[in-house]
Amino acid sequence: MSILTTITPLGSYRNDSPYPFCPGCGHKSILDNLNAALVELQVDPAQTVIVSDIGCSGLSDQYFITSAFHGLHGRSVTYATGIKLAQPELTVIVVMGDGGTGIGGTHLLNAARRNIGITVLVFNNFNYGMTGGQHSATTPTGAVTSTTPGGNPERPLDICASVGVNGAGYVWRGTNFDTDLTERISEAILSESFALLDIWELCTAYFVKSNQFTRRAIDSTLEELGFETGVLYRDGRPEFTVAIREAGLSSLGRPPDGPQPIPSEWTAQLDHPFLIEMAGSAGGRVRSAVRIGAIAAIKSGLYASQRDDYPVTVKTGHSLSRLLLANRPIDYAGSEQPNVLVVLTDDGYRKVAKRAARMTGDAVVYVLPEFSTIDTPARVVVLDPATLPGRIGKGDLALVVLAAVVEHSGVIPIEALRSAVAAGPFGESNLAAVAHGVALAAK
């Protein structure tokens, strides 16, 4: 007996909420066309993401039953790029205004260069509507806005030419009044390339009032500027996520590995969050040592979050690294006082001196002998690498001391630390550093 399953096609991708836009605003008709295109394509709403920018068009995503992402002004294309890279099977649609286009213009150029497979709908009404009708990157020359009361002296950005010459896979310009808009949106989504539709429309609250702008004025402005309409660019080169997969295949001879989970092989006894802060200098491999500590913690069944702090010069000054450990997922890795502070150098101490002075009596500060008189109410443990046989190199000191702290505090099994260093680069010398740290803790 065969079982027949009938899937009812979706008649709409809209929810029941009415749009909030001003009467006559072009946004409604663009979104109606987007809805019609989605109905035509019958995409899975859970596998479709509308990424919205800021502004009146940025309100759009909440009226659809698809997945959604709403972020900062001008950055929607970057979020969409990340979403597509993480899950190439998703249909990713950006809705943004001409304000976001101007603010995040370089993101559009780079997305076009890459030919990342997202579809961008630009709701282009020549001004910032939500904030009071200021001029934008697409305001026509001479147009009156709240920030160009004497007429805009700038030439408007040709969005289509900009992304087109930079390699966009599909570029169309038209208006929300065009009867083929639904078809063009569908075509753009199906192109599976970086697709952009520059959709000219009316902001009835501001631009229409300030410029007696009409539907006919859209056509005459396009003509005066020499901006062509219709499908302006098509480029059949491979979409970015496909291209990088193929590049990985040809260099590795197999699909590249994604992130691999770190298996936990040991058990750490930790019933509350525990923060270790290491304060040293640039070039001292402080961050590398703490990263090894984070891997060891994960190998011990803990959650770990690492935060680093160093100056922009990178090779001079302090290098701080904080390792927050917990037995549950870490939602906030902010600025609590450390349970353990490790002071390695003057550069590091200058940055944490105030923190050390505020620590409590149940916390521990591990220091080299030169910091033994450190100003802190915490318990001070002095570690002296000079007592070890042989000389400890500057690049090994952070790991030696971290191993001593791990052994002395017992926060993570030392075997987990050994395993973490053995698996990484410099395995042999790092194992020796851990052995030195264990010896140091015993003194």
Q: Which residues bind ligand SF4 (CB under 6 A)?
A: 21-22, 25, 27, 56, 125, 129-130, 203-206
The whole-angstrom separation of Cα 51 and Cα 44 is 16
Residue 413 CB, nearest distance to ligand SF4 (Å)? 59
The whole-angstrom separation of Cα 417 and Cα 251 is 33
Q: Are the C-beta atoms of 107 and 75 separated by less than 8 Å?
A: yes
- Closer CB to ligand SF4, residue 31 or residue 378? 31
Residue 206 CB, nearest distance to ligand SF4 (Å)? 6
Residue 57 CB, nearest distance to ligand SF4 (Å)? 7
- Closer CB to ligand SF4, residue 58 or residue 169? 58
Residue 61 CB, nearest distance to ligand SF4 (Å)? 15
Residue 58 CB, nearest distance to ligand SF4 (Å)? 10
Q: How many CA atoms lie within 13 A of 203 on its CB side?
A: 27
- Closer CB to ligand SF4, residue 31 or residue 405? 31
Name 278's Cβ contacts closer than 8 Å, sequence gap at least 6.
286, 289, 290, 320, 321, 322, 323, 342, 344, 348, 398, 401, 402
Class of residue 4 by CB neighbours under 10 A (exposed 0-12, middle 13-18, buried 19+):
exposed
Residue 62 CB, nearest distance to ligand SF4 (Å)? 14
- Closer CB to ligand SF4, residue 50 or residue 352? 50
Other C-beta atoms lying within 10 Å of the C-beta of residue 58? 22
The amino acid at residue 246 is E
Q: Are the C-beta atoms of 338 and 362 separated by less than 8 Å?
A: no
Q: Are the C-beta atoms of 337 and 354 separated by less than 8 Å?
A: no
- Closer CB to ligand SF4, residue 130 or residue 188? 130
Other C-beta atoms lying within 10 Å of the C-beta of residue 350? 12
Residue 27 CB, nearest distance to ligand SF4 (Å)? 5
In angstroms, the first-to-last Cα distance of the chain is: 78
- Closer CB to ligand SF4, residue 96 or residue 411? 96
Look at the alpha carbons of 72, 233, 194, 123 in this order and tell me if their dihedral is positive or negative.
positive
Q: Are the C-beta atoms of 165 and 137 separated by less than 8 Å?
A: no
Residue 243 CB, nearest distance to ligand SF4 (Å)? 36
Tokens representing 296?
A: 């060891």
Residue 13 CB, nearest distance to ligand SF4 (Å)? 21
- Closer CB to ligand SF4, residue 206 or residue 213? 206
Residue 209 CB, nearest distance to ligand SF4 (Å)? 10
Q: Strands, DSSP E only, in 201-295? A: 230-234, 274-281
- Closer CB to ligand SF4, residue 204 or residue 306? 204
Biggest CA–CA distance in the chain, Å, is: 87
- Closer CB to ligand SF4, residue 90 or residue 143? 143
- Closer CB to ligand SF4, residue 116 or residue 203? 203
- Closer CB to ligand SF4, residue 95 or residue 392? 95
Q: How many CA atoms lie within 13 A of 128 on its CB side?
A: 19
Residue 125 CB, nearest distance to ligand SF4 (Å)? 6
Name 197's Cβ contacts closer than 8 Å, sequence gap at least 6.
119, 120, 121, 122, 171, 172, 173, 174, 184, 185, 188
